[in-house]
Amino acid sequence: MGTDVDGSDVSQNVSHRMHSSPSYKTTRWVHHPAGGGLCVKESPMQTKQEQEAKAFAEANESRIAAIRGRLMDAGAAFMRTSIASQLPAMVARKANECLEKHDPAMFGSWLRQAPVGSPGTQEGGMYWSLVDACIFFGDAIGTRWTYLTQEGRSQYLAWVEMFLEEISSIVDVATAEVCDAKL
């Protein structure tokens, strides 16, 4: 039947698209050489993204560290709000574990699973800005998107910084309102 670009017999390859995400489009399932089923064959594009992510992290080490710290601070502040008490217990526990591990991307993924707060409210705004910031951070430093360029990664970090500014503004307004109410 022919050979693939890597020299493998194409009759032995089974294409598999699990998801519409670009990272899965390059995943191929092949018959395991020892028999007994299928195994994932690493794609060249995934390897390229691992190299791209590493290069980006090395070139932007201090910026990434500063943003990670700000995300962790914002996450900890969010978890102290009354709205965080509305999270299901498992989500709150997993989110706190992510904060302890300094993993903002997973923190955002856990929060995203249990939306809280009404849209248009300060707390709802903080929630969604935090979720978006954490997810963009993970995308900027991760290997999920097959064709993400260095410029795209930098843009994602700029969006994270924008969301962090929104969160800071929301916290400043909420703090001012609490102070005004006590007067």
Instruction: Examine the domain organization and report whether 37 and 55 are in the same domain.
Output: no
Residue owning tokens 């409210």: 121
Residues 77, 100 contacting (CB under 8 angstroms):
no
Q: What is the pLDDT of residue 111?
A: 94
Instruction: Examine the domain organization and report whether 123 and 150 are in the same domain.
Output: yes
Q: Is residue 3 part of a domain?
A: no
Instruction: Examine the domain organization and report whether 22 and 57 are in the same domain.
Output: no
Instruction: Examine the domain organization and report whether 23 and 55 are in the same domain.
Output: no
pLDDT per residue, tens digit, the chain (183 aa), is: 444 444 444 343 333 322 333 333 444 555 555 556 655 555 566 678 899 999 999 999 999 999 999 999 999 999 998 889 899 999 999 999 999 999 999 999 999 998 887 767 787 888 999 999 999 999 999 988 888 899 999 999 999 999 999 999 887 655 445 445 555
Instruction: Examine the domain organization and report whether 27 and 85 are in the same domain.
Output: no
Whole-prediction pTM value?
Answer: 0.70
Q: Which domain holds residue 52?
A: 46-182
Instruction: Examine the domain organization and report whether 171 and 85 are in the same domain.
Output: yes
Instruction: Examine the domain organization and report whether 98 and 178 are in the same domain.
Output: yes
> Measuring CA to CA, which residue among 109, 114, 89 is closest to residue 99?
109
Instruction: Examine the domain organization and report whether 115 and 134 are in the same domain.
Output: yes
Instruction: Examine the domain organization and report whether 35 and 50 are in the same domain.
Output: no
Instruction: Examine the domain organization and report whether 90 and 68 are in the same domain.
Output: yes
Measured from the Cβ of residue 105, the count of other Cβ atoms closer than 10 Å reads: 19
Instruction: Examine the domain organization and report whether 61 and 23 are in the same domain.
Output: no
Q: What is the pLDDT of residue 103?
A: 96
Q: What is the pLDDT of residue 19?
A: 32
Indicate the SS3 state at residue 40: strand
Residues 91, 84 contacting (CB under 8 angstroms):
no
Q: What is the pLDDT of residue 116?
A: 87
Q: Is residue 2 part of a domain?
A: no
